[in-house]
Amino acid sequence: MKIISIVGARPNFMKVAPIHRAFLTSSVKIDSKIIHTGQHFDKKMSQVFFNDLQLPQPDYFLGIGQGSSTELTARIMLDLELIFKEEKPDLVVVVGDVTSTFASALVANRMGIKLAHVEAGLRSFDRDMPEEINRMLTDQISDFLFVTEDSGVRNLLNENIDSNKIHLVGNCMIDSLVHYNDYTHSTDALEQYQLEPQDYIIMTMHRPSNVDYEKGLTDILQIIESLGHFNKIIFPVHPRTEKKLIELNLLDDFKKQNIVLTEPLAYLEFIKLMRFSSCILTDSGGVQEESTYLGIPCVTYRKSTERPVTVELGTNVLIEDLDVLKTVTVVKEILNGNGKKGQIPALWDGNAAIRIRDILIQEMV
Ligand code: UDP
């Protein structure tokens, strides 16, 4: 069986790594290939993850690079059609919700190749998020829908997806966290950034709705300024956010705070810093899940989350509109030891990729 997995952007690498590993260790021979679209291409957002996750270099690198989402989609589709014609895979695996996910899914569908979507069914019910559209459209054309949490199964059934295609398997991003948590001793990130365990906050912000306009960035600045009185903050800055901070001349104001501003961190550094932090502030999708697994209180700046189990069962709290006062109240409680304790959701045990592999073998061989 030949399976091609697609990666494109940072949150894809840690999901495909365990899947590729599971394919390689299968008792049924699987020819597992990886295509990198190049949606994220700079070293800090791409190559470092291949190193940290021990992923082999991709079999194909499309080098799609920068452009509007429409341009990226069109270029990915044209290139992939040629590769799929040549390689004739039995199955294409796409993960998550980025532009590469839907573009690749559509090519597989048009060419009559079976398609698996890993992390299917997640819904924020906010159609202003490009990711929500990518998720919904990919799910509609997938043959295998691998789901991380109960809400995903319900959402797919509500969208009239055939229940035989839906498989609740757990979370491949957590597979990576479980696997690589043991490797983090190789990084000295705490010493490097002069951080004391449980005595700093880690922040990531990159959603267009928070960082693409001045008010969002000045609100983030105010949050940092208010919290800086209680705790040091480390903020690895996403390229999208950095570009806007420079454009709007705000970078110096950020640098004046009780803060360590860094480039995007490598995976092992980042998960180590999450593990030892007092609290996580984010608008990321995956970080909400990782903080729930690690039991670290997390504040997510969104009006809704496509990962509701992190709020219902985990350590996550949503705050809308980058509300400074609410943030200070919630974070003070966390620093006083009264943050959400949370539980780890069912099947988030490090074995999701193995389940995915076994289902594929059972249904395809
Ligand atoms: N991450 C990382 N370095 C960073 C920030 C995040 O390795 O500086 C990892 C994080 O642990 C998670 C993934 O990147 O596994 C999440 O990616 P991102 O927040 O970019 O995407 P989203 O999940 O929001 O789509």
- Tell me, what's the pLDDT at 186? 87
Number of domains in the chain: 2
Is 341 inside any structural domain? no
- Tell me, what's the pLDDT at 41? 84
The CATH number assigned to the domain holding 257 equals: 3.40.50.2000
143: Cα within 13 Å, side-chain hemisphere: 17
Q: Are residues 200 and 285 in the same domain?
A: yes
Q: Are residues 306 and 190 in the same domain?
A: yes
Expressed in angstroms and rounded, the spacing between residue 286 Cα and the centre of ligand 1 is 6
pLDDT tens digits, the chain, 365 residues: what are they?
A: 999 999 999 999 999 999 999 999 999 999 999 999 999 988 899 999 999 999 999 999 999 988 999 999 999 999 999 999 999 999 999 999 999 999 999 999 999 999 999 999 999 999 999 999 999 999 999 999 999 999 999 999 999 999 999 999 999 999 999 999 988 988 999 999 999 999 999 999 999 999 999 999 999 999 999 999 999 999 999 999 999 999 999 999 999 999 999 999 999 999 999 999 999 999 999 999 999 999 999 999 999 999 999 999 999 999 999 999 999 999 999 999 999 999 999 999 999 999 999 999 999 98
Is 343 inside any structural domain? no
- Tell me, what's the pLDDT at 258? 95
Q: Are residues 61 and 186 in the same domain?
A: no
What is the distance between the alpha carbons of residues 97 and 4, in angstroms, rounded to a whole number? 17
What is the position in ligand 1's atom list of the atom closest to the CA of 14? 15
- Tell me, what's the pLDDT at 280? 98
- Tell me, what's the pLDDT at 224? 97
8 A C-beta contact, residue 38 and residue 65: yes
What is the distance between the alpha carbons of residues 101 and 4, in angstroms, rounded to a whole number? 13
8 A C-beta contact, residue 36 and residue 46: yes
What is the distance between the alpha carbons of residues 60 and 36, in angstroms, rounded to a whole number? 6
The phi, psi pair for 111, rounded to 5°, reads: -95, 5
Is 177 inside any structural domain? no
Which residue's CA is minimally distant from atom 10 of ligand 1? 287
Q: Are residues 156 and 254 in the same domain?
A: no
- Tell me, what's the pLDDT at 182? 86
Q: Are residues 140 and 199 in the same domain?
A: no
Q: Are residues 50 and 188 in the same domain?
A: no
- Tell me, what's the pLDDT at 66? 85
Whole-structure pTM over 0.85, yes or no?
yes
What is the position in ligand 1's atom list of the atom closest to the CA of 265? 8
What is the distance between the alpha carbons of residues 166 and 236, in angstroms, rounded to a whole number? 36
Is 97 inside any structural domain? yes
The domain in which residue 150 lies consists of 2-171+348-364
Positive or negative torsion for Cα 236, 59, 141, 152: negative
Q: Are residues 114 and 49 in the same domain?
A: yes
What is the distance between the alpha carbons of residues 276 and 9, in angstroms, rounded to a whole number? 26
Which residue's CA is minimally distant from atom 7 of ligand 1? 267
What is the distance between the alpha carbons of residues 284 and 211, in angstroms, rounded to a whole number? 12
Catalytic residues: 206
Ligand 1 binding pocket (C-beta < 6 A) is 10-11, 14, 173, 204, 236, 264-265, 267, 270-271, 284-287, 290
What is the position in ligand 1's atom list of the atom closest to the CA of 267? 7
Angstrom CA distances, 317 to 35, 271, 363, stand at 36, 20, 39
Expressed in angstroms and rounded, the spacing between residue 304 Cα and the centre of ligand 1 is 19
